[in-house]
C-alpha cells in the first residue's frame, strides 16, 4: 500500500519529506532520490511503531483529498510504499 509524501526544500537546506496521513513522520535527504529512500524507511518505522502501540493504520489519502491541503504548496508529491 503506497502513501503520499510531500518533498519540499527551503533555501540552503536538504530536501525534507512529510506525510499528510502520518503527522510527525518526517525525514530528509541531500537529494530527492535519497529523500525518497529515507522516506520508505521512516514510514516503515513509523507504521511498525503504530502497530506495536496497537494504533490503527490510516488508509492512504487520495490525490483528490490532498489537493486542497495547504501543506502541499511548493512541494512535489511522491508515492511511498513502506517496506514492512
pLDDT at 1: 87
**Please, are residues 4 and 26 in contact by the beta-carbon 8 Å criterion?**
no
Q: How many domains are there within the chain?
A: 1
Mean pLDDT per 10-residue section of the chain, whose length is 84 residues:
93 94 96 94 97 97 90 90 84
CA pair distance 21, 62, nearest whole angstrom? 10
The pLDDT value recorded for residue 63 is 87
Task: Indicate which CATH number applies to the domain containing 23.
Answer: 3.30.160.250
**Alpha helices per DSSP H over 1-84:** 32-52, 63-66
Backbone angles phi, psi at 15, to 5 degrees: -80, 125
Domain extent at residue 65: 3-80
Amino acid at each position: 500500500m503506497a502513501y503520499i509524501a510531500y518533498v519540499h526544500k527551503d533555501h540552503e537546506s536538504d530536501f525534507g519529506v512529510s506525510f499528510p496521513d502520518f503527522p510527525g513522520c518526517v525525514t530528509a535527504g541531500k537529494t530527492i532520490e535519497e529523500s525518497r529512500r529515507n522516506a520508505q524507511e521512516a514510514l516503515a518505522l513509523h507504521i511498525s511503531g503504530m502497530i506495536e502501540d496497537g494504533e490503527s493504520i490510516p488508509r492512504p489519502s487520495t490525490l483528490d483529498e490532498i489537493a486542497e491541503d495547504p501543506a502541499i504548496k511548493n512541494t512535489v508529491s511522491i508515492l511511498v510504499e513502506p517496506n514492512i
